[in-house]
Amino acid sequence: MTSAPKSAAASEDASEDQMQRIPLADAKLDGPLFRRKLMAWYKSHARELPWRGVSDPYRTWLSEVMLQQTRVAAVIDHYESFLRKFPTMLALALAPESEVLAIWSGLGYYRRARLLHKTAQFLTRERAGVLPSTSAELRTLPGIGEYTSAAIASIAFGESVAVVDGNVERVLLRLTGRSEVKTAAARAFVQKKASALIPKRHVGEGINAAGDHNQAMMELGATLCLPKAPLCLHCPVYSMCKTRGEHVTLPRAAQLSRPVAYLLSLRKRGTVTEVLLELRADEASLMPGMYELPPLPLDAVQGREPLLRLRHAITNTNYYVQVFAAHGPEDSGLRRAVPAAKGDLHWVLTSRLGSIPLTGLARKALQRLDVMAVKLPKLPAATTGMANTTAV
């Protein structure tokens, strides 16, 4: 007699129970062999990124904050622009917040920029602009959590502390044949395994054992041990892996969809052009103090053809954006439909758009409409040294 199939919920419960019953010893790795294989691969395959090979802890800190939940390609451009504007911690600390947000515009998660700025001011005032050198001290600073503190401490200062991000977690779960389970026990297992593999502190000319190891682990997850279709045949530790392919993961939340509409209103004043923008309130829950195109009610644009259509993702929501322009001075219907208070609307010179804090969506739309120039930043060569940070 054939038994009935288990429900998905029952399977998940069984999987979690089974995982928690497996003792840690069942998933032993040969640490020295693993490190040798990993580092041999990393030395010949690591990507060249502008925040690698720098000796300034400020740059390591900046790159790690920018890389939180952000694509490497997007970070490269902003990292270089940011350092051109604020090459030192002192320059950042002395800048007004609006300038910091303006350079950060397009990276999203603007709270990171605000905390980075406040922390630079605190360090300049209280510690003469010197970052703490241990993960424990770094964690006491605003905006620096467990992952970022370990990354800075190991990469900039050589501390033997393991970094665990999504890439490292995926590598370790596959190596040990584990499924993804969001429990404290599962988290503790991954952290313990990562800590067991981290080499002892060894810093010398061109050597940073812990920092290089952490970078290599993240690089492996970012380039080979991918969430989908991992490149296992190119993996340096394939022979040590118990999964050799994708591991069982929890279902991801479905992306939400939301249509939105915005107004593009331009005017000429002599030889210059101005664009109408709305300034979000300082107490707004999302992107306070940022400029955006004035939002329009959807019923106000029915039957109109948009000037631009684009998709813009923020966390788990896809925004299907339409930008509308008034058809000449006599078409005042769209302008009257803007619900914002008159005091929140500002005419801004298009030549100043790169120096004000724009939301990422506003920047994207204005650049695609050729209202805002796209600048390609260049970064002067940095001093090379011990600190090497990693991308995800």
Q: In the predicted model, is pLDDT for residue 85 greater than 50?
A: yes
- Taking the C-alpha atoms of residue 40 and residue 212, their distance in angstroms, rounded to an integer, is 11
Phi-psi region of 391 (alpha: psi -120 to 50; beta: other; left: phi over 0): beta
Q: What is the predicted pLDDT for the residue at 11?
A: 42
271 and 205 in a common domain: no
Q: What is the predicted pLDDT for the residue at 295?
A: 96
232 and 129 in a common domain: yes
206 and 294 in a common domain: no
- What pLDDT band is residue 329 in, cutting at 50, 70 and 90? low
Q: What is the predicted pLDDT for the residue at 380?
A: 42
Count structural domains, the chain.
Answer: 2
Q: Does residue 297 fall inside a structural domain?
A: yes
Q: What is the predicted pLDDT for the residue at 331?
A: 65
- Taking the C-alpha atoms of residue 86 and residue 231, their distance in angstroms, rounded to an integer, is 39
Q: Does residue 6 fall inside a structural domain?
A: no
- Taking the C-alpha atoms of residue 264 and residue 301, their distance in angstroms, rounded to an integer, is 13
For 220-254, the pLDDT digits (tens) are: 999 999 999 999 999 999 999 999 999 988 888 88
261 and 227 in a common domain: no
| 16 belongs to the catalytic site | no
Q: What is the predicted pLDDT for the residue at 376?
A: 57
Please state the rounded mean pLDDT for residues 342-353: 95
Closest by Cα among 178, 229, 231, 222 to 391: 222
Q: Does residue 363 fall inside a structural domain?
A: yes
Phi and psi, residue 355, nearest 5°: -115, 10
Question: Which residue in 12, 16, 48, 64 is the catalytic one?
Answer: 64
188 and 140 in a common domain: yes
- What pLDDT band is residue 12 in, cutting at 50, 70 and 90? very low
Q: What is the predicted pLDDT for the residue at 29?
A: 84
For 19-58, the pLDDT digits (tens) are: 443 333 344 789 999 999 999 999 999 999 999 988 899 9
Q: What is the predicted pLDDT for the residue at 69?
A: 83
- What pLDDT band is residue 282 in, cutting at 50, 70 and 90? confident
Q: In the predicted model, is pLDDT for residue 382 greater than 60?
A: no
The CATH number of whichever domain residue 327 belongs to comes to 3.90.79.10
DSSP letter for 25, please: G
- Taking the C-alpha atoms of residue 61 and residue 154, their distance in angstroms, rounded to an integer, is 11
Q: What is the number of H-type helices and E-type strands within the chain?
A: 14, 10
Share of the chain above pLDDT 90, in %: 72
Q: Does residue 374 fall inside a structural domain?
A: no
Of 205, 240, 275, the residue at which a domain comes to its end is 240
- What pLDDT band is residue 385 in, cutting at 50, 70 and 90? very low
261 and 207 in a common domain: no
For 144-153, the pLDDT digits (tens) are: 999 999 999 9
Q: In the predicted model, is pLDDT for residue 386 greater than 70?
A: no
The CATH number of whichever domain residue 219 belongs to comes to 1.10.340.30
227 and 262 in a common domain: no
**Lowest-confidence region among 123-137, 148-162, 224-238, 372-386:** 372-386
295 and 208 in a common domain: no
Q: Does residue 287 fall inside a structural domain?
A: yes
Please, what is the average pLDDT of the chain? 87
Of 240, 265, 283, the residue at which a domain comes to its end is 240
Of 184, 216, 240, the residue at which a domain comes to its end is 240
324 and 184 in a common domain: no
269 and 204 in a common domain: no
In the block, residue with structure tokens 């030889």: 271
- Taking the C-alpha atoms of residue 319 and residue 216, their distance in angstroms, rounded to an integer, is 35
Q: In the predicted model, is pLDDT for residue 200 greater than 70?
A: yes
222 and 363 in a common domain: no
- Taking the C-alpha atoms of residue 88 and residue 120, their distance in angstroms, rounded to an integer, is 10
Question: For every residue of 326-370, which 3-state class applies, written as one string?
Answer: CCCCCCCHHHHHCCCCHHHEEEEEHHHHHHCCECHHHHHHHHHCC
Q: Does residue 19 fall inside a structural domain?
A: no
Compute the residue count for the chain.
392
Q: What is the predicted pLDDT for the residue at 130?
A: 95
- What pLDDT band is residue 94 in, cutting at 50, 70 and 90? very high
192 and 299 in a common domain: no
Range of the domain at 185: 24-240
Q: Does residue 384 fall inside a structural domain?
A: no
Q: Does residue 62 fall inside a structural domain?
A: yes
